[in-house]
């Protein structure tokens, strides 16, 4: 048996500062810091299992191979037995060496049956469809790194998406600020702020940020300034510029080589700090980060007119309740700016007197008793095309979840604007700590049955770490809640997203904001960092699946008819009505040419109106099986009718009973030509696999299809009229051609009849 080998269908939501690979941290259930020594490399090294489509195709190819081999062997055996009985028993002729030629021709017929039965064009159709889709997806901002990800997206049932840059524009601006107990919903100027407070804010933002973050003027007049580097830091730098201060002048005075210590951002700390020397001796620490985290570390705050006040617990709660929560509910990311001084001389109430350099390794002590300078609200608008894209996903049976490092109120607001959260819907919105509490047992170990109670209703996971994201993805994939294992897609841009991207069935890395580690762990790179591009990936993935199904529907119809005709012909007339060279031409039509024609069909929006196929649904649906058997029935009736009464019907000499190897006849040429005509017109039927009646819809949107169809038709005319002995054909008259075309067009009419048969009433054997 010949075998077929199928080709291997081979965010941390950026917080307000930079993240370096050397600072990759992950959190255990208690929130402790655990340094990843191997970390991302270990988690991203595992191999993914065989893709859904590849597994189904491999199984189908094996089944077809066994069936084809069996029929081919039976055909040869029957032909040989019939020849021996006729020659040596009935006619009682002695053996002649020339009889070996007859036996070889019988063997050739058997091999030809096997060639036709085994779908050699299937791997070609898979490769062509994937390659064509990958090329087209590039235009839709999807850079496919692994071919199998393309078709896997067609079966996606869940998407875990970042917020910043994916659902939002990632062009951040400060739109609200709270300074000296004054809430401003417009950008203040230095005249609105006490001088010493304004100076500290400007210096704290300018120095305590990556110097690679910059705001550059637009290339053309009227263009918005270009944000380079971390977008949150760019928003803060824009705030400094709005105050009327040039941040670059401050950086020129305090260069990076003057930094005493830098506490870089990570997913657990959710803040960053920079220590610089003071002009009069000592050190100053600037800190910025998630507002509720920084405020807990503050002991002082500047009140009215810049007067320093103690920051009591009641004041903290009031600030969170009256300022931070309303900002977050408006979809704003809240950032707190704070500082602390270490001085060698007599210290003020908010300063620390030191005799020697502080122990900067004691981060917990250094980052405490801070003085709050301000809280700002940063807006990152939802991309205008995202709500519609999410509606399309939900209509297509795909659940979208947001996994973000933002405040839970901010996440809820953005999720509502995007359409992830709907009114009156029973859903869960959890923070990372609560998520960990729910999925771990008393020993702190993650339990699958506990995750299964959370993820079905979970829509937003806020204040999450990359480890939380990985645990969620793994929990959904390994779930035992549903019969069909979920197919999960994940987006990520940070280095720590690597494990989640690798664990997912399809990992999407951000092409603009993504790190090299994230891109390496991904299957597809979004070159525009836009969620709507994921919807296009789903569309193309489903189109790949359907293109393969169209090819199978077409090819299996030809397989069934050709094999049965050869087998019955061998039994009934001791010869195959379709000669070996003719069947090889048919094989070329249905393999190479058909795979190219049907594998290049463009996707239609209708693909997003159905649920995903899932992992266990058969590749050949009941509707497809109905079409295959229905068309095979029609074609077999026509061919056998022509075989047994065609000579009488068309008033031509019969081709039955001729000596093996005799010249071509009009009778068998008409049978061959009719078969090809029916195959060609059925190729148009095969473009629809879900019971659609309008089989010519979109026919002329695919020039590859109709070019190949016309080329095949012209080639058939040449073969019939001029093939002679080479193709065992005899030139036909116009009337005979019209009969052949008439029977071919009949497949289109018969296709409407087959479509009218209710699929649900078919026997279960077709499912």
In this prediction, residue 766 has a pLDDT band, given cuts at 50, 70 and 90, of: very low
Across the range 346-369, mean pLDDT stands at 85
pLDDT given for residue 662 in this prediction: 64
Helical H segments across 229-290, by residue range: 231-242, 247-253
> What architecture does CATH give domain 142-168+383-529?
3-Layer(aba) Sandwich (3.40)
pLDDT given for residue 277 in this prediction: 93
Look at the alpha carbons of 676, 678, 681, 684 in this order and tell me if their dihedral is positive or negative: negative
| Lowest-pLDDT range of 133-147, 401-415, 575-589, 619-633 | 575-589
pLDDT given for residue 80 in this prediction: 84
Terminal CA-to-CA distance of the chain, rounded, Å? 27
pLDDT given for residue 481 in this prediction: 74
How buried is 218 (Cβ within 10 angstroms: 0-12 exposed, 13-18 middle, 19+ buried)? exposed
Known active-site residue 575: no
**Mean pLDDT computed over every residue of the chain:** 84
For 147-176, the DSSP string reads HHHHHHGGG--EEEE-STTTTB----EEEE
Closest by alpha carbon to 651, among 665, 635, 667? 667
pLDDT given for residue 275 in this prediction: 95
Please check the confidence at residue 21 and state whether its pLDDT lies above 80.
no
Closest by alpha carbon to 476, among 454, 501, 508? 454
pLDDT given for residue 187 in this prediction: 85
Q: How many helices (H) and strands (E) does the chain have?
A: 27, 22
Across the range 719-746, mean pLDDT stands at 92
> Two tokens at 706?
């109709």
pLDDT given for residue 116 in this prediction: 73
**pLDDT tens-digit series, residues 444-476:** 899 999 999 999 999 999 988 889 999 999 999
CATH code given to domain 175-375: 3.40.1110.10
Please check the confidence at residue 37 and state whether its pLDDT lies above 80.
no
Where do the domains of the chain lie?
A: 52-137+538-761, 142-168+383-529, 175-375
pLDDT given for residue 348 in this prediction: 80
Across the range 48-71, mean pLDDT stands at 76
Contacts of 592 by beta carbon, 8 Å cutoff, 6+ apart: 121, 124
Please check the confidence at residue 540 and state whether its pLDDT lies above 80.
yes
In this prediction, residue 720 has a pLDDT band, given cuts at 50, 70 and 90, of: very high
Check if 52-137+538-761 and 142-168+383-529 are the same fold: no
pLDDT given for residue 483 in this prediction: 66
Q: Which CATH superfamily is domain 52-137+538-761 in?
A: Calcium-transporting ATPase, transmembrane domain (1.20.1110.10)
**pLDDT tens-digit series, residues 515-528:** 888 899 899 999 98
**pLDDT tens-digit series, residues 293-341:** 999 999 999 998 899 999 999 999 999 999 999 999 888 999 999 999 9
pLDDT given for residue 5 in this prediction: 44
Residue predicted with more confidence, 310 or 225: 310
**pLDDT tens-digit series, residues 91-112:** 777 887 877 887 887 787 778 7
pLDDT given for residue 101 in this prediction: 81
Please check the confidence at residue 573 and state whether its pLDDT lies above 80.
no
Contacts of 452 by beta carbon, 8 Å cutoff, 6+ apart: 475, 479, 480, 481
Please check the confidence at residue 547 and state whether its pLDDT lies above 70.
yes
Please check the confidence at residue 17 and state whether its pLDDT lies above 60.
no
For residues 237 and 243, what is the distance between their CA atoms, to the nearest angstrom? 10
Catalytic residue among 11, 23, 162, 523: 162
Distances (CA, A) of 448 to 27, 270, 475, 481, 482: 19, 28, 6, 10, 13
Closest by alpha carbon to 175, among 239, 221, 128? 239
Please check the confidence at residue 630 and state whether its pLDDT lies above 90.
yes
Helical H segments across 661-733, by residue range: 666-685, 703-722, 724-727
């Amino acid at each position: 048996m010949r075998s077929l080998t199928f080709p291997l269908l081979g965010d941390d939501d950026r917080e307000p500062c930079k993240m370096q690979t050397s600072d990759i941290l992950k959190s255990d259930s208690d929130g402790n810091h655990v340094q990843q020594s191997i970390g991302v490399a270990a988690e991203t090294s595992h191999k993914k299992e065989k893709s859904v489509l590849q597994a189904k195709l491999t199984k189908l190819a094996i089944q077809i191979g066994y069936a084809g081999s069996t029929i081919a062997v039976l055909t040869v055996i029957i032909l040989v037995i019939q020849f021996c009985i006729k020659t040596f028993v009935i006619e009682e002729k002695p053996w002649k060496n020339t009889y070996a030629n007859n036996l070889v021709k019988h063997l050739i017929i058997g091999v030809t049956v096997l060639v036709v039965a085994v779908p050699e064009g299937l791997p070609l159709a898979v490769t062509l469809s994937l390659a064509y889709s990958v090329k087209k997806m590039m235009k839709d901002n999807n850079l496919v790194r692994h071919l199998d990800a393309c078709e896997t997206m067609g079966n996606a049932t869940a998407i875990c998406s970042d917020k910043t840059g994916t659902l939002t524009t990632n062009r951040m601006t400060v739109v609200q600020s709270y300074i000296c107990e004054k809430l401003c919903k417009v950008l203040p100027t230095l005249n609105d702020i006490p001088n010493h407070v304004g100076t500290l804010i400007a210096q704290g933002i300018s120095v305590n940020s990556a110097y690679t973050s910059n705001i550059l003027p637009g290339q053309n007049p009227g263009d918005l300034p270009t944000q380079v580097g971390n977008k949150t830091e760019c928003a803060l730098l824009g705030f400094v510029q709005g105050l009327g201060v040039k941040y670059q002048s401050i950086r020129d005075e305090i260069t990076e080589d003057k930094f005493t210590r830098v506490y870089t951002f990570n997913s657990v700390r959710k803040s960053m700090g920079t220590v610089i020397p003071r002009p009069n001796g000592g050190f100053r620490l600037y800190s910025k980060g998630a507002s509720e985290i920084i405020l807990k570390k503050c002991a002082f705050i500047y009140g009215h007119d810049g007067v320093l006040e103690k920051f009591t617990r009641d004041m903290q709660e009031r600030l969170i309740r009256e300022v931070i929560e309303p900002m977050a509910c408006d979809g704003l990311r809240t950032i707190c700016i704070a500082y602390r001084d270490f001085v060698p001389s007599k210290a003020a109430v908010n300063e620390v007197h030191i005799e020697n350099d502080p122990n900067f390794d004691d981060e917990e002590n250094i980052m405490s008793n801070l003085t709050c300078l301000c809280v700002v609200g940063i807006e990152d608008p939802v991309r205008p095309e995202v709500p519609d894209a999410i509606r399309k996903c939900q209509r297509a049976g795909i659940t979208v979840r947001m996994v973000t490092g933002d405040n839970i109120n901010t996440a809820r607001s953005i999720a509502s604007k995007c359409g992830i959260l709907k009114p009156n819907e029973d859903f869960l919105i959890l923070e990372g700590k609560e998520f960990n509490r729910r999925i771990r047992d008393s020993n702190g170990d993650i339990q699958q049955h506990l995750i299964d109670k959370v993820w079905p209703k979970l829509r937003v996971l806020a204040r999450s770490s990359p480890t939380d994201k990985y645990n969620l993805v793994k929990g959904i994939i390994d779930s035992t809640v549903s019969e069909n294992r979920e197919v999960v897609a994940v987006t990520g841009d940070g280095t720590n997203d690597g494990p989640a991207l690798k664990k997912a069935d399809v990992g999407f890395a951000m092409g603009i904001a993504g790190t090299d580690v994230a891109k390496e762990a991904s299957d597809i790179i979004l070159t525009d960092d836009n969620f709507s591009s994921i919807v296009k990936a789903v569309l193309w993935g489903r189109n790949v699946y359907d293109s393969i199904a169209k090819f199978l529907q077409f090819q299996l119809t030809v397989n069934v008819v050709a094999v049965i005709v050869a087998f019955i012909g061998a039994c009934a007339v001791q010869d195959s009505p379709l000669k070996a060279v003719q069947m090889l031409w048919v094989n070329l039509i249905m393999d190479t040419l058909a795979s190219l024609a049907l594998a290049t069909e463009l996707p239609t929006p209708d693909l997003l109106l159905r649920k995903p196929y899932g992992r266990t649904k058969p590749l050949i649906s009941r509707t497809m099986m109905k079409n295959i058997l229905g068309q095979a029935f029609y074609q077999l009736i026509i061919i056998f009718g022509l075989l047994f009464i065609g000579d009488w019907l068309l008033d031509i000499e019969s081709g039955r009973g001729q000596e093996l190897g005799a010249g071509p006849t009009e009778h068998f040429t008409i049978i061959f030509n009719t078969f090809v005509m029916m195959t060609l017109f059925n190729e148009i039927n095969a473009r629809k696999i879900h019971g659609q009646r309008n089989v010519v819809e979109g026919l002329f949107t695919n020039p590859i299809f109709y070019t190949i169809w016309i080329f095949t038709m012209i080639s058939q005319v040449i073969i019939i009229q001029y093939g002679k002995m080479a193709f065992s054909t005899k030139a036909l008259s116009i009337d005979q051609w019209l009969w052949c075309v008439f029977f071919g067009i009949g497949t289109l009419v018969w296709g409407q009849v087959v479509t009218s048969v209710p699929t649900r009433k078919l026997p279960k054997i077709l499912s």
